Amino acid sequence: MIVSFLLRFPGLETWGLKNKAAVKEAWGLCVSLQAEKEGLDDRKDPFSSLFPGEDDDQRHGSQSPSVAAQQGGYEIPARLRTLHNLVIQYASQGRYEVAVPLCKQALEDLEKSSGHSHPDVATMLNILALVYRDQNKYKEATDLLNDALDIREQTLGGEHPAVAATLNNLAVLYGKRGKYTEAEPLCKRALEIREKVLGTNHPDVAKQLNNLALLCQNQGKFEEVEQYYQRALHIYQTRLGPDDPNVAKTKNNLANAYLKQGKYQQAEELYKEILSSHDLELATRRGGKGLACLPACLPLS
């Protein structure tokens, strides 16, 4: 989509969007690409928590009617998803002089067309806040996220997945600033919403548990840390399977928590499990080369 976007608007790369007219034209193109965006396959997205109900490591495609219904009937417009992908592209290149004005122009247009208190405006505020967060502009990002949270609570209700997404973004932001006591209740509320809407064994719940565990770890609450990581690990293993990458990531997180407590044996066991799984995965990709001892030790059936 990004390649298609740039091919259809070649001036974007060279002008850097310094010209306001160019910004408006780029935003207008996002609107015109809505139908095309709806046909795209899901793809991973590092800003996953931005879009409610699709998670992060993240798979953003068109929302099905069932997902939209689950989210209270609100569906993020495809043009905002297209813009989101474009902003990610520029932010990943460190080209904030392009990403920021594009976000601001889109926000201005949305406020003119829909009014400030609209869910789409809240989505745009989230996008701009995450760009500011990447620039370490934490105050600006915090103000935008609090504004987005107010809009989403008023328009979608306090238990909507979009509210949980913004709460999570705020918690992460506070965590980056070392404000763990302020971040923890936000993360817990996001967890409660996801559990109620998605069920207690949903992978997105496991993701929220990982975030909560990290916040507690930075406060030295290791008993809670272990509980959160172990629960997240159980969810990932039962719902996504033992070979899912999130299983290894959560095991690694839990092992690090054990190390900080001096529980070296427990940490060692987890690290061995991670390495064993990694070696087996490599062997599978190589067609079994390098693990000749494994089939030799297995009886023929």
Instruction: Encode the chain (301 residues) as per-residue pLDDT tens digits.
Output: 444 444 444 344 444 445 555 555 555 555 554 444 443 333 333 333 443 333 333 333 334 333 443 445 677 788 888 888 899 889 889 999 999 999 999 999 999 999 999 999 999 999 999 999 999 999 999 999 999 999 999 999 999 999 999 999 999 999 999 999 999 999 999 999 999 999 999 999 999 999 999 999 999 999 999 999 999 999 999 999 999 999 999 999 999 999 999 999 999 999 999 998 765 565 556 654 433 333 333 332 2
Helix 78-92, helix 96-114: angle, nearest 10? 160
Which amino acid, one-letter code, is at 51? F
Coil/strand/helix, residue 218: coil
pLDDT reported for residue 64:
38
Rounded CA-CA distance 39/25 in Å is 23
HEC string for 110-153: HHHHHCCCCHHHHHHHHHHHHHHHHCCCHHHHHHHHHHHHHHHH
Locus of tokens 């997180």: 253
Cβ(103)–Cβ(123) under 8 Å?
no
Integer distance in angstroms from the first to the last C-alpha of the chain? Answer: 49
Burial label for 42, CB within 10 Å (0-12, 13-18, 19+), is exposed
pLDDT reported for residue 28:
58
The candidate with the shortest Cα–Cα distance to 189, out of 153, 239, 225, 154, is 153
pLDDT reported for residue 289:
43
What the block records as the tokens of 11 is 């001036």
CA separation, residue 279 to residues 52, 270, 286 (Å): 35, 14, 11
pLDDT reported for residue 286:
60
